[in-house]
Amino acid sequence: MAGPHLPISGSAPEQGVSTHCPYCSLQCAMTLTPREHGAGPVLEVAGAPFPTNRGGLCEKGQSSAELLAHPDRLTTPLVRDGSGARDEPFRAASWDEALQRIADALTVAQERFGPDAAGLFGGGGMTNEKAYQAGKFVRVALRSASIDYNGRFCMSSAAAAATKAFGVDRGMPFPLSDIARADTVLLVGSNPADVMPPAMRWFAAGRERGARHLVVDPRYTATAAAADVHLQPVPGTDLALANGLLHLAVKHRLVDTAYIAERTTGWPAVKRAVRQYWPDRVERITGVPVRVMERAVRVLAESRATIILSGRGAEQHAKGSDTALAWINLALALGLPGRPFSGWATMTGQGNGQGGREHGQKADQLPGYRMLADPAAREHVAGVWGVDPDELPQPGVSAYEMLDRLGTDGGVRALVVMASNVAVSAPNAAHVRERLRALDFLAVSDIFLSETAELADVVLPTTQWAEEDGTMTNVEGRVLRRRRAVDAPEGARSDLAVLADLAGRLGRGEYFDDDPRTVFDELRRASAGGKADYAGITWERIEAERGVFWPCPSEDHEGTPRLFRDGFPTPDGRARFHVVHHRDAAETPDDEFPYRLTTGRSRAHYQSGTQTRRTKALLDAEPEPTVEVHPDLAARLGVADGGDLLLRTRRGSARLRVRLTSTIRPDTVFAPFHWAGEQTINDLTNPALDPASRMPEFKVCAVELTAVPTTTREDA
C-alpha cells in the first residue's frame, strides 16, 4: 500500500530504493520512490513484501518520509556564546568550530576530573555501525567507562532474564512468522495491535487456523480485545501471576516432566517455591479470578505449540528481570523453548533495540555480547581494535545512574548525547533535566532541536534513516540493510563521521573510519566467537537472503533463525530455572497518593515524540495526550470525559485531558509518555532500579489525582 507523497530536499535516485522503516523493531520493509508531483519532487512511501511485514506499514511508517524535508530539520551546527552558556541563544557555527568545542570540552573534563568525566549516551535507533562505533569511541578515544543508552530503559530486564535462563539474549529466538503457526499465544504486558500493527497479521493468521490467544494487561487493549482470554492484573503483579499459573500447572500435572529432566536444571527448587502461590492468594495479590487462571493454564498446557511473549508492561519494573524469569520458568515447565513453533520471547521495542545492545553501548558490554569485565573478551576485542587490553576501562554505571550523577563529583561532566531525548524519555525526567543543566558541557546530535538539544552547548545536525547506509537487527535477530535513498541536506553529517572526526581531534583518529561498510566489517571481526556472532554476515548475503539471523559464525553458515533446537548456550547445554518471588512495587498507594499510574505508548506516536510530534498526519490523529480513567474512578474524582486531571507523584506533576474508558482497572490510570512540557509523564515515573538489569520502574507508581476546572487551562 502506497503512503503519502512527501516533499524531498536534495537529489534522489530515479528508481525506487528498498529500505526499512525508521521506527520500531519490526523494521518493516518499504520502498521509497521519487515522483514528480505539483511544485517539485516528492517521495512515495510504499510497504514492500518482506518476511516480517508482508507489505504492511502502520501510519508511522507511511508518514515517515515527512521527516526528511521537515521545516524544523537541523542543517547547521548550533553553539552558544558567552560565559552564561545555557542562558545565551544559539547561533549557527561551522562544523570545525562545533567539533573542536566538543573535543576541547571532553579534554578539559578529563584533565580536571579524570577519564570517566567524559561520556556518551546513545540510542537504540542507531544503526549497528553507529552503536558499535559509539562504544569503541568511548573506550578507545576517550578511554572512559561512561557510556550507556536508552535501550537500558527498554530491553534490559528481558535481556538479563534470558541470559540467566538460556545463556543468551535474543529478543525473539524464532522468526515472527512462528506466531501464526502456534496453537496458543500468551502476551504478557504487550500491545502489538497499537505499537506494532503490521505484526498483527501473524496473530490474525494464527486465529484463522484456530489458535487461541491470551493477554495479560491491566488495560483491555486492542490486542486484548482480539484475544480469547484477558487476564487483568494489578500493575506490578505479573510475577505473582506467573508463579500462580505454574502452581496450577504442577497441581494439575500439566508440566512436561520429560523435557524438564532432559533439557533443564534447577526445577526442584522452583517447584517447591511456587507452592506458596496457591490460587486464592494469587487472586488477592493480582485481582485475577481463580477461574480465569485455571482456564488460562489449561489452554497453555494442552496446546501442541505454545508461545509466551513478554513485553515492557511486565519488564519495566524494579523487579522486571525476576518477572521475566517467572514467565520463563512457566515456559520451561511446559516444555516450550526449542520446540517447533513454541517458546518464550520478548518483543524488542526500538528500531535497533536488539543490535544496539549487542555491540557495545551498554556500560558492561563489548561487541558480540562479550562482557567488558571478562579478560578473554577484552583481549579479543582489543586485538581487533589494535590497542592494549589494559587500556580498556572496566564497566561503568547504567543509564539512569549515569544521568543521576551528571555534573557531580565522580560523575560525567562533559556529555555527548546521540539519538536520544532523555529530557523526556528518562524516568524522573524533571530531575534528569536538572542534571543536564548541571553539566559543564553538553553536546547533542539529532535531526531536530529536541528537548534535550535545547539544553545543550553544542548541537550537531545528523543524517537520518533514508540518508544513510548501514545495518539494523530487528526483533527476530535478523540483520537487515538500511539503504540510502536520498541525499542528506547540505550541512548534516553522519554520526559515524562525527565520532571519527572527534577521535582524530583527540589524537586517536587512526583507530576510526567513517565508512559504514568498513565499520561493519570490523564489527564482524570484533563479534566473531561471541554469543551475537556476525562474522559470517556480509552485506552481499543480507541482500541475497533478505536478512541473515545471528549467530552466523562463518560465511558458509546458514544463520540461525531458531535457537535452542539442540541445546542452550550454557556450560552444560541446559536451560536454567530460577526461584523468584513476588514483591510489591517500589511504591504502593497510600493516603496521600491513593491510585496507581501506569505508562506506555500510543498508536500514533513513538518514544519521546521528537519525530512523531512533528509529523502532521500523526499529530492530527493524536494532537495531545490523554489520561485513561475508568468511569467509576472519574465519578469519585468529579471529572468528566474531556475534563482536565492533575496527576501528582512524589517526583512531579502533569496535567492531561481525561478520556473515560471502561477498559482500564478502576484503581489505575494510564498515560502515554510521548509529550513534553506540562504533559511530560516521565516527570512522574519512579527511577527505582532493578538490581540485575538496572531497569527503572516506569510501569507503576503511586499517584494523586485532582480534577482541574477546564476554564483555567492555559492556551498551549
Residue 105 CB burial class (10 angstroms; 0-12, 13-18, ≥19): buried
Domain 78-153+352-514 identical in fold to domain 163-346: no
Residue 716 CB burial class (10 angstroms; 0-12, 13-18, ≥19): exposed
Q: What is the mean pLDDT of residues 426-448?
A: 96
Quickly state the pLDDT bin for 356 (edges 50, 70, 90): confident
In angstroms, rounded to a whole number, what is the distance separating the alpha carbons of residues 469 and 291? 53
In angstroms, rounded to a whole number, what is the distance separating the alpha carbons of residues 409 and 49? 53
Q: Which of 570, 569, 568, 550 is nearest to 560 (CA)?
A: 550
In angstroms, rounded to a whole number, what is the distance separating the alpha carbons of residues 636 and 594? 12
Helices (H), 516-561: 516-527, 539-545
Instruction: State which fold the 2-67 domain adopts.
Output: N-terminal domain of TfIIb (2.20.25)
pLDDT at 34: 82
Residue 713 CA: distances (Å) to CA of 17, 63, 617, 707, 708: 47, 31, 25, 12, 8
* Residue pLDDT, tens place only, 493-513: 999 999 999 999 999 999 999
C-alpha cell read off for 79 = 553553539
Instruction: State which fold the 595-712 domain adopts.
Output: Barwin-like endoglucanases (2.40.40)
How much is the mean pLDDT over the chain?
A: 93
Q: Answer yes or no: are the C-beta atoms of 128 and 523 closer than 8 Å.
A: yes
CA dihedral 428, 434, 435, 437 (to 10 degrees): 150
pLDDT at 37: 55
Q: Answer yes or no: are the C-beta atoms of 716 and 337 closer than 8 Å.
A: no
DSSP 141: I
Quickly state the pLDDT bin for 46 (edges 50, 70, 90): very high
Whether residue 712 has pLDDT greater than 70: no
* Residue pLDDT, tens place only, 409-422: 999 999 999 999 99
Quickly state the pLDDT bin for 154 (edges 50, 70, 90): confident
DSSP 64: G
* Residue pLDDT, tens place only, 321-339: 999 999 999 999 999 999 9
Q: What is the mean pLDDT of residues 14-41?
A: 82
Beta partners for 78?
92, 459
* Residue pLDDT, tens place only, 110-149: 999 999 999 999 999 999 999 999 999 999 999 999 999 9
Q: Can you give the residue ranges of every domain in the chain?
A: 2-67, 78-153+352-514, 163-346, 595-712
**Is beta strand 264-265 parallel, antiparallel or unpaired with respect to 575-576?**
parallel
Q: What is the mean pLDDT of residues 481-503?
A: 95
Q: What is the mean pLDDT of residues 80-99?
A: 86
C-alpha cell read off for 451 = 528537548
In angstroms, rounded to a whole number, what is the distance separating the alpha carbons of residues 538 and 525? 11
In angstroms, rounded to a whole number, what is the distance separating the alpha carbons of residues 138 and 150? 16
pLDDT at 562: 97
Whether residue 257 has pLDDT greater than 80: yes
- Identify residue 628 by its one-letter amino acid code: E
Quickly state the pLDDT bin for 556 (edges 50, 70, 90): very high
C-alpha cell read off for 560 = 540461525
Phi, psi of 391, deg, nearest 5: -75, -25
Q: Which of 83-92, 220-229, 707-716 has the highest mean pLDDT?
A: 220-229
pLDDT at 713: 52
Percent of the chain with pLDDT over 90: 88
Task: Show Cβ contacts of residue 517 under 8 Å, excluding neighbours closer than 6 positions.
Answer: 469, 539
Beta partners for 647?
654, 705
Quickly state the pLDDT bin for 423 (edges 50, 70, 90): very high
- What interhelical angle do 290-301 and 238-251 show, nearest 10? 70
pLDDT at 36: 66
Quickly state the pLDDT bin for 87 (edges 50, 70, 90): confident
CATH class of 163-346: alpha beta
Percent of the chain with pLDDT over 70: 96
* Right CATH for 78-153+352-514 from 3.40.50.300, 3.40.50.740, 3.40.190.10, 3.40.605.10: 3.40.50.740
Give the burial string for 377-412 (b: 16+ CB within 10 Å, else e): bbebbbebbebeeeebbeebbbbbbbbbbbbeeebb
pLDDT at 14: 52
Residue ranges with strand state E in 155-259: 184-188, 212-216, 229-231
| pTM score of the predicted model | 0.94
CB atoms within 10 A of CB 333: 25
Q: What is the mean pLDDT of residues 539-560?
A: 96
Q: Which of 152-156, 218-222, 283-287, 546-550 has the lowest mean pLDDT?
A: 152-156
Over its C-alpha atoms, the chain yields an Rg (Å, rounded) of 24
Q: Is 574 or 712 the better-scoring residue by pLDDT?
A: 574
Q: Answer yes or no: are the C-beta atoms of 574 and 265 closer than 8 Å.
A: yes
- Identify residue 669 by its one-letter amino acid code: V
Q: What is the 3-state secondary structure (H, E, C) of 610-636?
A: CCHHHCHHHHHHCCCCEEEECHHHHHH
Quickly state the pLDDT bin for 38 (edges 50, 70, 90): low
C-alpha cell read off for 185 = 499465544
Quickly state the pLDDT bin for 1 (edges 50, 70, 90): very low
Q: Which of 213-227, 342-356, 450-464 has the lowest mean pLDDT?
A: 342-356
Q: How many residues does the chain have?
A: 716
Quickly state the pLDDT bin for 268 (edges 50, 70, 90): very high
Whether residue 39 has pLDDT greater than 60: no
Q: Which of 326, 308, 189, 341 is nearest to 247 (CA)?
A: 326
